Amino acid sequence: MDSMTIIAVASIITAGLTIAIGSVGPALGEGRAVATALSSLAQQPDAAATITRTLFVGLAMVESVAIYCFVVSMILLFANPFWNHAIQAAGQ
């Protein structure tokens, strides 16, 4: 295999692993946050507005990790910085 094929295969595998591993953590975190928020709402219904607002801010922060992983995988697939290096090495 030439270097271009190796870079392509490594990029695709790394992008897949990035999405797979990077989405498991946020999914577990969001599930736990929602479960805890529902438990808190059941215990103190008067604080529903505060709990809900805090929950949504926390969910947005947790979800940002999955979005960052998605961005990294898209960069690896479509704007890979290693392509330029491989093209220059192949030209020499």
In this predicted model, what pLDDT tens digit does every residue of 25-40 receive, in sequence order?
999 999 999 999 999 9
Q: For residue 84, is pLDDT > 90?
A: no
Residue in the structure block whose two tokens are 């797979």: 20
Q: For residue 55, is pLDDT > 90?
A: yes
User: Domain boundaries in the chain?
Assistant: 3-80
Q: Which CATH superfamily is domain 3-80 in?
A: F1F0 ATP synthase subunit C (1.20.20.10)
Residues in the chain: 92
Q: What is the mean pLDDT of residues 64-87?
A: 85
Other beta carbons less than 10 A from residue 59's beta carbon:
16
Q: What is the mean pLDDT of residues 8-24?
A: 89
Q: How is residue 10 written in tokens?
A: 């490594």
Listed residue (8, 24, 28, 18) closest to 68, CA to CA: 18
